[in-house]
Chains A and B, each alone.
Chain A
């Protein structure tokens, strides 16, 4: 299978619970990204990683953490979920070298925090 996978597809979560969204790519891309998409707003970058072992904060990082232990995996953790984190979460990856650096997206995780 070529591309990016995300798990779970959807989740309903009680406020205050911890949750990890999983993302795996098999394209050997250097860069990976986590976005959230909310109605009426553009995709907003949460965290990114330019290469394994490094991570950076995006536009809306508060309440989220990431790790990049290897090239393929880039999990996103919500330490203590709040209702404002209800959203659709997309993981993306790109080669990270040269221009254009086209991003390719996973199928998304629909998260509801009650």
Chain B
């Protein structure tokens, strides 16, 4: 079967660093996406990894290890506006996205 696992909820402090993990088992692999979703809003694209390694984009970085079926999203210098759910999604062999349930990140002052 196909499965994406992420922690349900995480809490971090403003200004700190947080790492959100995602493990996956899918039929085929055509890239891994991270999306951000604020409460009551639509998901918005954050990052894409298809090769092993780290992709950095400002305060956000995403890492992929295909051999381990593992990714993480790293958020630095946390701001209150980063409070949101973070969704991990993997492209399967049909290029359809399989989604994790999301990790709700709570930022405390």
- The answer to whether A binds B is yes
User: B35-52: which have CB < 8 Å to A?
Assistant: 41-45, 48, 50
Q: Which residues of A contact B (CB under 8 A)?
A: 40-45, 48, 58, 90, 99-108
The bracket for how many chain B residues form the interface is 20 to 34
Closest Cβ neighbor of B100 among chain A residues = A42
Give the residue of B4, B33, B96, B100 whose beta carbon is less than 8 angstroms from that of A102: B33
Residues in B with CB closer than 8 Å to A101 are 91, 95
B45: nearest chain-A partner, CB-CB? A102
Contact surface of B with A, Cβ cutoff 8 Å = 4, 8, 30-31, 33, 41-45, 48, 50, 87, 89, 91, 95-102
A86 to B91, CA, bound (A): 27
10 tightest A-B CB contacts, nearest first:
A42-B99, A105-B42, A43-B99, A100-B48, A42-B101, A105-B43, A102-B45, A42-B100, A107-B42, A100-B31
